Structures are given as structure tokens and as C-alpha cells.
Amino acid sequence: MKVYDVVPGLEFEPERDFEQSPAWFLDGTHSVPPWTPMFGWFWINFCRHGMQYGAEKLSLPTVKGWDWRFHNGGGYLTLLLVKTEEEKRRREVEFRKAIMPFIQDFDGLWGGFVKEVLGLYEHLKKTDPDTATNIDLLQNFEDTINTCRRMWEIHMYMMYGVYTAYILFENICRDVAKIDDTSPLFHKLVSGFDNKVFQVDRKLWEFSKRAQQEGLADVFLKNEASAIKSKLEATDKGKAFMKDFTALMNEDGWRMQRMSEINLPTWVEDPSPALVNVKQFLQKGGDFNLDEERKKITEERLAAEKEVLGKVPQEQKGWFQQLMKLAQKSGVFSEEHDHYLDLYTHAMMRRSALGLGKRFAKLGALDDPEDIFFLIPDEVRRAGINPDQFNLRYIVDRRKAEWKEWQKTPNPPAFLKEGFDLNQAMGVLVQSMDPIALKVVVGSMPQVRPELKADLYGICGSPGVAEGTARVIMTEDELHLVQEGDILVAATTSPSWTPVFSMIKGVIVDRGASLSHAAIVGREYGIPVVMNVFEGTAKIKSGQRIKVDANLGVVFILN
């Protein structure tokens, strides 16, 4: 029996919610495995708020963002469609004005937001969770809630604007150059750009060089991930190394191991995942791939730009080039926002909540600091100032038991009203013209070309052909199994997977579109990526020899 809702007012309730919409989709990218109650509360409330805020600020003509519900740790979403043609036309007029900042000064816009959120994070970091008073600690938590809310506003406003530009560029390319986001030439047009995530990777690579030079390589190569830190700290050289490494973590390590959850340590608390990245660079040896590749890819991009521009009539070149620049920035934004927005904010949420958790445990409201993740903000507030006066264990016990149950049975991929099937539901998504739904959730549907006799059909995320050993990776804690030269097979990938891209020859993902993580990073590393094969992780076994032909969007299983 449930004592109370995890996300009050936004728990999925079939009778009422099917009145509003006949189809609710599970956000499989972010809410599998099921969320802890506290993380779910933040996501459902504020991602929901951010999408409606972004769609409204931009006055998107056909869609008013998404609505979200919580069910057993899963996030379920549906679209809020604009209902009448009159309203669509009214919104179009506003949209034309609202989209201008993206076109006129994208760098100023995104740069301004980055500055704003970094300011919010700095403010939060000023509170030391170990020494702050109860009142200050609670205030820090309230500020974190507001930071998260603001982060989602920026996130979705930017994402809607950027993706609209990207889709337009694709449409225009289809008309003028007969290429779209499934064609290698198109991908060359949008590759060869640096971003924050790659810059962090490069710094990790530099640490691998330093370890080599200072004779510390064996500490990495001969020890398990969890032991590297303590072994390093046993020597003076290693201590100095760890000191600088910790400084990097404090600067850029505000990342979560799982992007959308707060119950695992950040790199700041536990640098092991980052040290594993250093280890993988050492195992691989040689130069930082990205630098060699970047030069080649940039040249290819310039050639592709020339080729496509040659097809554009002289009078049209001006705006076409301006639009192309904007579309090229979409990929950079797609990667960078994970770092500056989601990952950083979630790290701040963990920092603040865990600070309170420790205080609660110390003063008697909870047993374990991490039990705070089983509470929601109203319950935290109850004991915030006087944790010694309250006992919140009865809530934690029930919620934790429920949460453990959630982990046992996967949430269904969609809730559909009786008489409504998945095809119809997908049709509604397509018709919403919602840029995020199109580019992230739906993607382009692969075309089956029986004459190729391939084992899997997908779409091109990054051009190229490769043959190698398949490595099926389902979760991030299996990433250390990836070997040099493997072809990675995954359901989907996220920013913390980026470093393994320097080791592998190709990527196959079950779901994805041209602005998904795997596609963007694959293009920058110059390796083939085939996406939307749906059954890659089911059909391919680790160790099999496979051939990826991303130019054709197909995969062959060779044995």
C-alpha cells in the first residue's frame, strides 16, 4: 500500500490521465532502471516545467511541450498539442520573433546561459555541507531546487530552438543537395567541432601521458579501478599526481556516473571512473585520437561544405550559410549541454541532498545519509531545521521496499488507452512536429533493403565502414570490458561513455537519431555509427565478428 505519492499530483493514474491523452511513453533513455523517489520528484516536476516553458517562450506553432507522469520509478510522457488552426497561426507569428536570438547570436545566447548556470552552481558550492548550520543547509537545498528548475528552463528553451534549426537545415539539404540526416555527406557537414566534453577527455589523456612519463603507468595497468587511487597515494610522485587530478575533478568532475540519477557518487567524490579512462588511454597508447581525427574530419567538412554550396543558387548562399552554421552548432550544443546542464545540476542535487542526509543521520532522523534519496522535498523540509526532533525512517522503509520492487519488474514501454495501438501513438508523435520528439525519441525509420542481405538495418549516424569484434554493453559499469578495436553494441550511449570512443572502430545502437550522443561523438572520432537498428543488443553476441557499413546503414554478422 502506498502511504503517499512520490510526485504529488503527477503520479500516473489511468482513469484521469487517459482522459487527457490516450498514449503515455516511458522515457527509456533516462528512467530505466527506475529512479529513486527524490530524483524522480525533481525530473517529473522540472523537466515537465522546462519543456512547457521552452515551448511557450518560443511559441512553438504545433506543440506546447510535454506532460509527464511518474509510475514506479519510471517517467512517462505525452505531448501537449496545439488544438486549433487559429491558435497555430497566432503562435507562428510569435515564433518568428521568438526564434530570432538563435539566428542572430547563438554564441551570445548559449554563452550567456552557461555563465548564468555556472554562477548558480558557484553560489551553491559556497555552502559547506559539513559546517553549515541546519538553516543554511536547508536554504542550500531550496536554492538547489530552484537551480534545477532554472536549469530545465534553459535546457528546453535552447533544445527546442536548436533542434528546429537542425531539422530545417536537414529539410533544405534534402531539397537542394538531395541529402538528409541518414546520408554520409550530411554528417560530414556537421562534424569537426570541439566541445567541452572533448576538452575534458583531452585533459584525461594528458594525465595518461604524465603517468607514462613519471613511471606511474603500472599503477594503472596492474590494479583494479577501485585500488588505483590508494596505490597512487602510497608514493610521493603518485600523491602529487592525485593532487592535480583532484583539482581537475573539482573543476570538471561534476558529473554523474549515471546521467539521470543521483544515488551514485560524482567524479568529485569518487574519481575511479575518470581514473579508468586514464587507464584505457594507457592501454591504448599513442596519441590522442581526437587531434589526428579532428584535422581529417575538419578537412572533409570543408570539402562537403564546398560541394553542397555548389548546389545552392548564388542569391541563396547568404542565408544558407548562416543556417548551416547554426545547424553545425546544434551538435556542439547537444554534447555540451549534458555537461553544463544535466550532469552538473544533478551533481549539485546530490551534493546538497547528501549534505542534509549526513546531518539527518547524525542527529537521528535517518539511519543512513543515502536514505535521503527516498524522501521528497516536503518531507525533507519537515525535519530540515530540527532533525533531532523527527523520525523519518518509517517513510524511508516503505519507499525503499517499493523501490526495490520497482527494480524487479521493468516498466512497460507505454501506457495506451484501450483501442489505441503503438503505431497510432507513434503517428501522433510524428504529427506533433515536436522537434525533440522527432530528433531524439522517434528518429528516422530505417528502410529494409533485402537486396543487401544484411542482418540488421538502421540509419547512418556517422559515415564509414568497419569490421571487428562485437562488444555488447548494456550498462556503464560494463564499459571496462571494451577492448581496443571492438565494435560497441549498445541500447543507447551517454556522455560518460565518450572516452571509449577513442578505442573502438564502430558503434551500433538500438535507438537513436542524428543528434543522439553516439552519432555526434562518432562523427568527431571519425568512426561509423549505425542507429535505430532496434534489435542490435538482442541479435548480436559479444565476441562475434561483425561488419558495420554506416554508409548503407547496415550491419552484417559474420559468424
Partner 1 sequence: MGPLDPLLSRRKGLNPMASKWIYWFEELGSKDNDLVGKKCANLGEMTRLGMRVPPGFAVCVSGYEQFMEQSGAGEEIRRYVKDSARGFKEVEKQIEASRTIRGIIESKPMPYDMKKELDACYDKLCARIGIDRVRVAVRSSGAVSMPGQMETFLNVLGKDAVSNHVIKVWGSAFTARAIAFRLEKGMDMQKAPIGVAVLKMVNAKSAGVVLTVLPTTGDTSKVVVEGNWGLGESVVSGEVNPDHFLIDKETLDIESTVNEKTKMVVYRSSGTATVEVPRDMRSKSCLTGEEIQEIVRVSLDVEKYFNTPQDMEWVVDLDLPFPQNVFWVQARPAKFSKKKQDDAEYIAELMTRVFKF
Binding site for partner 1 (CB under 8 A): 19-22, 60-62, 81, 83, 85, 88-89, 92-93, 95-97, 99-100, 103-104, 164-165, 167-168, 171-172, 175-176, 313, 315-316, 318-319, 322-323, 326, 417, 419-421, 423-424, 427-428, 430-431, 433, 435, 445-448, 450-451, 457, 534
Nearer to partner 1, 391 or 431 (CB): 431
Q: Least distance (Å) from partner 1 to the CB of residue 324?
A: 11
User: Measured between alpha carbons, how far is 505 from 526 in angstroms, rounded to an integer?
Assistant: 9
Q: Least distance (Å) from partner 1 to the CB of residue 171?
A: 7
Helix axes 317-337, 196-213, angle to 10 degrees: 60
Nearer to partner 1, 175 or 218 (CB): 175
Quick check: helix, strand or coil at residue 28? Answer: coil
Q: Least distance (Å) from partner 1 to the CB of residue 558?
A: 17
Q: Least distance (Å) from partner 1 to the CB of residue 233?
A: 53
Helical H segments across 413-535, by residue range: 422-432, 435-436, 517-525
Nearer to partner 1, 350 or 539 (CB): 539
User: Measured between alpha carbons, how far is 226 from 224 in angstroms, rounded to an integer?
Assistant: 6
**DSSP H or E run through 77:** strand 74-81
Nearer to partner 1, 363 or 552 (CB): 552
* Paired sense of beta strands 545-549 and 465-472, if any: antiparallel
Per-residue 3-state assignment (H helix, E strand, C coil) for 174-234: HHHHCCCCCCHHHHHHCCCCCCHHHHHHHHHHHHHHHHHHCCCHHHHHCCCHHHHHHHHCC
Nearer to partner 1, 101 or 485 (CB): 101
Nearer to partner 1, 422 or 465 (CB): 422
Nearer to partner 1, 169 or 220 (CB): 169
Nearer to partner 1, 9 or 419 (CB): 419
DSSP output for 282-302: HHH-SS-HHHHHHHHHHHHHH
DSSP-based helix, strand, coil % in the chain, nearest 5: 60, 10, 30
User: Measured between alpha carbons, how far is 61 from 84 in angstroms, rounded to an integer?
Assistant: 10
Give the residues across from 36 on adjacent strands: none
User: Measured between alpha carbons, how far is 329 from 325 in angstroms, rounded to an integer?
Assistant: 6
Q: Are 523 and 506 in contact (CB under 8 A)?
A: no
User: Which grid coordinates belong to 323?
Assistant: 543556417
Q: Least distance (Å) from partner 1 to the CB of residue 203?
A: 36
Q: Least distance (Å) from partner 1 to the CB of residue 177?
A: 11
User: Measured between alpha carbons, how far is 378 from 218 in angstroms, rounded to an integer?
Assistant: 50
C-alpha distances in angstroms, 377 versus 252, 374, 440, 492? 28, 10, 30, 31
Nearer to partner 1, 284 or 511 (CB): 511
Q: Least distance (Å) from partner 1 to the CB of residue 66?
A: 13
Nearer to partner 1, 99 or 225 (CB): 99
Q: Least distance (Å) from partner 1 to the CB of residue 15?
A: 14
Q: Least distance (Å) from partner 1 to the CB of residue 537?
A: 16
Q: Least distance (Å) from partner 1 to the CB of residue 74?
A: 22
User: Measured between alpha carbons, how far is 537 from 502 in angstroms, rounded to an integer?
Assistant: 21
